[in-house]
Amino acid sequence: MVERSRYYLDFEKPIIELEQKITELEGLAKKEKLDFKEEIKILQSRLKNLKESIFANLTPWQRVQLARHPERPKPLQLASFIFEDFLLLHGDRLYGDDQAIIGGLAKIENEGIVFIGHQKGKSIKENLSRNFGMAHPEGYRKASRLMSLAEKFKKPVVTFIDTPGAYPGIQAEERGQAEAIAANLEKMARLETPILVIVTGEGGSGGALGIGVGDRILMLENAIYSVISPEGCAAILWKNQEKVEEAAEALRLTSQDLMKLGLIEEIIPEPLGGAHKDIEQTAINIKQAIIRNLSELKDLTLPELLEKRYEKYRRIGKFKRK
């Protein structure tokens, strides 16, 4: 069944139109009891080709749009497919309960883990309470508290990244946005349990990194991860916010680019047409990646794990020798 999308990107338009045509034809066949099997088969194969040709040649900016797609599955939704059991926990024990970062206990293949993720909203209303997935310091401090819990009970940590960035606001600064992120970087570097990081949507700079240091960094195929938004980069570099396509290109923010740069360990494939076209399949792909990576990390002794984590980051950097 092809569901009618409520929202689509410009480059998705021909796909959506063809999908609608197929739906109409199927409806007509049913209603009029006519046999359109051959016609539908032809259209479906045309649809597959169309998707393949569009998605084989995505530009970095198109991937940015996919990563931010309003219908893209968000961490909580993915978690509901991936984990057999799941309990959200709340609050940083210091100030509040930031809705832009969620976390709690979960089970995958009967193995207990601590799950942490950014959470954007799906509707305007939800986005207001989730602050569009942009966390305040209390979000990072909630994550920190949950990581301590994971460490104490020897549970691996799995984090899902999907944020435009840490929230740029007065209260966020007053409560120490920089300190909260810095503290997490330090903590995650030495946390005595495996950490698996998966960028599922938008990896927005320091706000993403604040729950993003780990033993392995994975990215969904169309996720992005960038030091600055393409809009911000365009404004600085070309003094023109509309040069986003050039900026997206220059920043090397796609999963493919980051794999080539050696900054991530693995790309998790998405269903044809993007994660939002088949959320369940996306979740299955993520689940398999989690199970495999955690079982590999479990084979390491704690000193090995921590040494490898240190070395992984220690090697990052590209320079010339004088």
Partner 1 sequence: MGWFERTYNRIKRSKKKVDIPDGLWTKCIKCGEIIYNKKLEENLRVCPQCGYHFYIGARKRLEITLDKDSFREYDSVITSDNPLNFPHYEEKLEKSRKETGLDEAAIIGEGRIGGKSIVVGVTDYGFMRGSMASVVGERITEAVEKAIEKRYPLLIISGSGGGARMQEGMISLMQMAKTSAAIARLKRERLLYLSLLTHATMAGVMASFASQGDIILAEPGALLGFTGPRVIKQTIRQQLPPGFQSSEFLFKHGMIDLIVKRDEIRPTLIKILNLILPGF
161 Cα distance to chain centroid: 5
Nearer to partner 1, 16 or 189 (CB): 189
In whole angstroms, the minimum distance from the beta carbon of 310 to partner 1 comes to 5
CA–CA gap between residue 5 and residue 216 (Å, rounded) = 34
| Residues near partner 1, by CB under 8 A | 166, 168-170, 172-179, 181-183, 185-190, 205-206, 209-210, 212-213, 225-228, 232-233, 235-237, 250-253, 258, 261, 263, 309-310, 313-314, 316-322
C-alpha R_g of the chain: 21
Mapped onto helix, strand or coil, the DSSP state of residue 212 is coil
Nearer to partner 1, 56 or 303 (CB): 303
- Whether the CA torsion 89, 81, 119, 190 is positive or negative: it is positive
Nearer to partner 1, 1 or 170 (CB): 170
Cβ burial, residue 306 (10 Å; 0-12/13-18/19+): middle
Nearer to partner 1, 25 or 227 (CB): 227
In whole angstroms, the minimum distance from the beta carbon of 198 to partner 1 comes to 16
Nearer to partner 1, 232 or 274 (CB): 232
In whole angstroms, the minimum distance from the beta carbon of 8 to partner 1 comes to 27
In whole angstroms, the minimum distance from the beta carbon of 181 to partner 1 comes to 4
In whole angstroms, the minimum distance from the beta carbon of 232 to partner 1 comes to 8
55 Cα distance to chain centroid: 18
Buried b (16+ CB within 10 A) or exposed e, 175-211: bebeebbebbbebbeebebbbbbbbbbbbbbbbbbbb
> Tokens standing for 41?
């088969």
In whole angstroms, the minimum distance from the beta carbon of 275 to partner 1 comes to 21
Mapped onto helix, strand or coil, the DSSP state of residue 223 is coil
In whole angstroms, the minimum distance from the beta carbon of 40 to partner 1 comes to 44
In whole angstroms, the minimum distance from the beta carbon of 159 to partner 1 comes to 13
Nearer to partner 1, 82 or 191 (CB): 191
Nearer to partner 1, 142 or 276 (CB): 142
- The single residue listed with the structure tokens 């090995």 is 304
Cβ burial, residue 302 (10 Å; 0-12/13-18/19+): exposed
DSSP string across 172-206: HHHTTHHHHHHHHHHHHHH-SS-EEEEEEEEEEHH
Nearer to partner 1, 8 or 238 (CB): 238
Nearer to partner 1, 174 or 304 (CB): 174
CA–CA gap between residue 311 and residue 95 (Å, rounded) = 35
CA–CA gap between residue 27 and residue 22 (Å, rounded) = 9
- The single residue listed with the structure tokens 């900026």 is 247
In whole angstroms, the minimum distance from the beta carbon of 36 to partner 1 comes to 49
